[in-house]
Structure 1
Amino acid sequence: MADKLVIKVTAGSDSPERCSQAFTVAAVAVASGVEVSLWLTGESAWFALPGRAAEFELPHSAPLPDLLDAVLAGGSVTLCTQCAARRDITAEDVLEGVRIAGAQVFVAEAMAEGVRALVY
């Protein structure tokens, strides 16, 4: 089994099922004791902002704020640098515990020994 799971979610409200799947897998992995790094890119970048996850709705899925809180409590959440810049999101804007980092950090995490990476 991998020691760490890196998940890159590119979808937000534009593709709710893909988005929910990524957050669900991340939260379940954290609950299972797996080290998780969740990357918010593309339209999922908005969920780094306070209150935005509460606006997300998908029938028969766990509430996105609960999934995000679970990952923040037991893993790490990173907002893509370029995605943040394109949306005028700064470090002062994001939820506590969310960091902003770029492709170099993602590649380093994804390529480390004992890591599995998923993209949604």
Structure 2
Amino acid sequence: MSRTLVIKLTAGAEEPERANQAFTVAATAVAAGATVSLWLTGEAVWFAVPGRAESFELPHAAPLADLVTAVLEGGQLTVCTQCAKRRNLTEPNLRPGTRLAGAPTFTEEILTESTQAIVY
């Protein structure tokens, strides 16, 4: 049976270790063959804007741009609809493959059988 991992990241560049940890766990789970859905909320939504992950640096951590790419290639990257609107971001502002979705979609994902949800 395949497991699904849903991760919600609530921190942006202001909390670099927490932000990087969420992306590291998501990319590692993708590499392990899990179904992965990474949700960006609050200031984390900026990581879905082209160029933002590339400018993020954290010593001794995998480059965030590589982790974002891994999630986009093997999982689902989602930006909170309300969080995006509060920052005047629309789908054309986001990396290709990123979706906008809200609480109903998040709730549906986390209540699915064989799903593990984690919040960073």
Which TM-score band applies after superposition, normalised by the shorter structure? Answer: over 0.9
**Which residue does the alignment assign to 2:40?**
40
Q: Percent identity?
A: 60
Give every structure 1 segment of 4 or more consecutive aligned residues whose post-TM-superposition deviation is greater than 6 Å.
none
Aligned residue pairs total 120
1:17 maps onto 2:28 in alignment = no
Q: 2:76 is matched by which residue type in structure 1?
A: S
How far residue 92 of structure 1 moved from its aligned partner, in angstroms, is 1.2
**Which residue does the alignment assign to 1:80?**
80
Is contact 2:2–2:35 with CA below 8 Å preserved after alignment? no
Q: 1:1-120 alignment to 2 at 5 Å?
A: 3-120=3-120
How far residue 19 of structure 1 moved from its aligned partner, in angstroms, is 0.3
Q: 2:113 is matched by which residue type in structure 1?
A: E
Is contact 1:40–1:80 with CA below 8 Å preserved after alignment? yes
| TM-score of the pair, normalised by structure 1 | 0.97
| TM-score of the pair, normalised by structure 2 | 0.97
Structure 2 CA distance for aligned equivalents of residues 84 and 96 of structure 1: 15
